[in-house]
Amino acid sequence: RKEVEQDPGPFNVPEGATVAFNCTYSNSASQSFFWYRQDCRKEPKLLMSVYSSGNEDGRFTAQLNRASQYISLLIRDSKLSDSATYLCVVNNRAGTALIFGKGTTLSVSS
């Protein structure tokens, strides 16, 4: 099992749609979880941290299921500006670095 696996995408959705991304991770001892956003030819930027209780930031909701080693990101009311690649991130086995999934590409069209 790869350390971090994501839906390959791409996801092509119309404006206003709700879209969900899934991610699984292999290290059951992971303690740090994040979603990052990466625009084309730019550096990744933090979208949100993921907490055990789940958390919401505006149109974005992140969920963590430790038992299944599964993380999700839900985007409601998609905007054109949400078009990007979304990276699922967890800490490595030693807890010393972050491991990034390959990302899921989202394209929102009008």
Partner 1 sequence: DGGITQSPKYLFRKEGQNVTLSCEQNLNHDAMYWYRQDPGQGLRLIYYSQIVNDFQKGDIAEGYSVSREKKESFPLTVTSAQKNPTAFYLCATRFGEHEQYFGPGTRLTVT
**Residue 42: helix, strand or coil by DSSP?**
coil
Question: What span, in angstroms and rounded, lies between the C-alpha atoms of 29 and 88?
Answer: 16
Q: Which member of 73, 87, 106, 108 binds partner 1 (CB under 8 A)? A: 87
Query: Which positions from 32 through 61 interact with partner 1, judged by CB under 8 A?
Result: 32, 34, 41-46, 49
Query: Which positions from 62 through 81 interact with partner 1, judged by CB under 8 A?
Result: none
Say which residue the tokens 């907490």 belong to. Answer: 51
Question: What span, in angstroms and rounded, lies between the C-alpha atoms of 101 and 79?
Answer: 23
101 is a contact residue toward partner 1 (CB under 8 A): yes
SS (H, E, C) 65-96: ECCCCEEEEEECCCCHHHCEEEEEEEECCCCC
95 is a contact residue toward partner 1 (CB under 8 A): yes
Interface segment toward partner 1; rule CB under 8 A; list 21-29, 56-64, 73-81, 98-106: 98-106
> Closest CB to partner 1 among 35 and 82?
35
Binding footprint of partner 1 on the chain (CB under 8 A): 31-32, 34, 41-46, 49, 87, 91-92, 95-103
